Amino acid sequence: MVIGANAADMTEVATRLAAVCDMIEGHRKSGTAICVRRATAICAMINDVAAAAAEGRPTTTGSGDGRKRPRMESACSYEEVDELGVGLSGFVVRARHRATGEDVALKSLHREGCGVGGGIGRLLREACFMAAFRGHPFLVALRGVVRVPGVATDGDDDDDYSLVMDYVGPSLLDVLRARGRPFTEPNVRVAMRQLLAGAEAMHRHRIVHRDIKSENILVAVGSGAVSVRICDFGSAKSTAERSPPGQIPGTMEYMAPEVLVRNADHGVPADAWSLGCVMAELLTRELPFRGEDMADQLREIFDVLGVPDERAWEAMRPRVLAGKAVARAEAARVGHGNRLRELIPEEVLSDDGFEVLKGLLTCDPEKRMTAAAALRCAWFADMVEDACVCVSASSAVSMIDATGKRGHLLGVR
């Protein structure tokens, strides 16, 4: 279990989610394939997670009390419309429910490279994380898990499962590129409030996204309103898992310092850093730190924020790169303080907004502002609920149309 996952502050959702993740990890470690019956049972447990999140009390379908478990829905209920994106690990298509005519997004993984039980295990992990905040307005919603019929009930048919998710819209990165200029502070304030609210919901249940970036934020337009939603939970972990994934995923330009130094025990503060990078990106159309490799990325960070003191280094618990990055940073600039305000001047961001940005982009993970704390800042005080995020609905629709089939509608790597 990751340091900090104390039982005293564990939610019911976090407890149930960790149990599902531990079960899936047990299959992976033992090399045992997840058969259809077991996958259906895990899906029932995932429904319990969703019920606990929505109502504060679980259902009994996955409790092992002998009751009949629900059948997994068939993928034949959906008709593929078009391809949305293809990545190294999987692909996403837009599909239409044959009975209701409603559009959804279906995410599947390539069978190659998944290993025994790997593909369905990874999909079920992602489904479980999404179930923990089903119905949240700023997080992409899970509809369920479907299976292609006609495959053997035993064995490892990983490629025959898909996640059914809300069909949303293009990525924030696509809209930012189509816009051709940075967003104004009022627009960024609304977008950040929504993103921080989504992150706070994840973090409350001990979920760390680990790959928040503008490409993994979708722009939704509906009923004349525009909103943003965090998507792609394929890299997520629970800090309550007994054996969380050992690999450290993410996108270098959005990685927190403790992630760059390969601290595998990093937690929710890593997401807060990524949100700070997104905030700066929206304000300038440029990422605040862009190195050539991980050591150079650390140097870029330290050149702007200053080299961390000994206490901050201890909080990051570096495994690699630390000495090399410090040497590069000190060779480039010695003894300077935080220069973040030079990158984001007052004419771009007010002092109240800068308080949030600086708090999120703090090297020491123990002192970094949390999503919940950021939402309490003066920047968001007395803020009137604004249905329009980033741009007017009509402008957003135009930008969405201009992006065409971008391939980023739901993140795949």
- Give me 150's structure tokens: 């006609």
Q: How many domains does one find in the chain?
A: 2
In-domain check, residue 410? no
Confidence (pLDDT) at 410: 40
DSSP letter, residue 166: E
Q: 148 and 269 share a domain?
A: no
In this structure, are residues 34 and 42 in contact, taking their beta carbons and an 8 Å threshold?
yes
Token pair 């470690």 is found at 29
- Residue list for the binding site: 107
Q: Which residues form the domain of 101?
A: 7-166
Confirm whether 15 is domain-assigned. Answer: yes
pLDDT of residue 74: 87
Residues ≥6 apart with Cβ < 8 Å to 399: 170, 174, 175, 178, 179, 391
CATH for 312: 1.10.510.10
142 and 193 both lie in a single domain: no
113 and 36: one domain? yes
The DSSP result for 207-240, as a single string, is EE-S---GGGEEEEEETTEEEEEE---TT-EETT
Which pLDDT does position 72 carry in this prediction? 77
141, 130 in Cβ contact below 8 A?
A: yes
**What is each CA distance from 380 to 197, 341, 352, 374, 409, in whole angstroms?**
12, 20, 9, 8, 29
**Do 26 and 116 share a domain, yes or no?**
yes
Distances (CA, A) of 288 to 85, 231, 300: 27, 22, 9
| Same domain assignment for residues 387 and 242 | yes
Q: What is the distance between the alpha carbons of residues 202 and 353, in angstroms, rounded to a whole number?
A: 23
Q: Give the residue numbers annotated as catalytic, written as ranges.
A: 211
Instruction: Report residue 4 CA to chain centroid gap.
Output: 20
Query: Along the 413 residues of the chain, how does pLDDT read in single tens digits?
Result: 333 444 445 688 999 999 999 999 888 888 888 888 888 899 999 988 988 887 654 444 444 444 444 567 888 899 999 998 877 778 899 999 999 999 999 998 876 555 544 578 889 999 999 999 888 999 998 999 998 765 444 444 444 789 999 999 889 999 999 988 999 999 999 999 999 999 999 999 999 999 999 999 999 876 667 899 999 999 999 998 887 776 788 899 999 999 998 887 889 999 999 999 999 999 999 999 999 998 889 889 999 998 887 777 777 766 655 555 555 555 554 456 789 999 999 999 999 999 999 999 999 999 999 999 999 999 999 776 544 444 444 455 455 454 444 433 344 44
Give the containing element (helix H, strand E) for 352.
Answer: helix 351-360
- Can you read off the two tokens belonging to residue 126? 């992602």
Q: Do 144 and 227 sit in the same domain of this protein?
A: no
Residue 156 burial (CB count, 10 A): 20
Question: Which residues carry a binding-site annotation for ATP?
Answer: 107
Q: Is the dihedral of CA 243, 211, 205, 63 positive or negative?
A: negative
**pLDDT in the model for residue 345:** 96
Residue 86 belongs to domain with CATH number: 3.30.200.20
**Considering 132, 166, 200, which residue would you say is the last residue of a domain?**
166
Q: Are residues 153 and 184 in the same domain?
A: no
Angle at 400 between CA 397 and CA 403, to 5 degrees: 150
Q: Which of 166, 191, 222 is the last residue of a domain?
A: 166
Residue 334 and residue 228 share a domain: yes
pLDDT of residue 4: 40
Q: Which of 218, 206, 274 is nearest to 244 (CA)?
A: 206
In a domain, 1, yes or no: no
Task: Among 166, 190, 206, identify where a domain stops.
Answer: 166
What pLDDT score was predicted for residue 66? 41
Asked if residue 79 is part of any domain, the answer here is yes
| 82 and 210 together in one domain | no
- pLDDT value, residue 328: 53
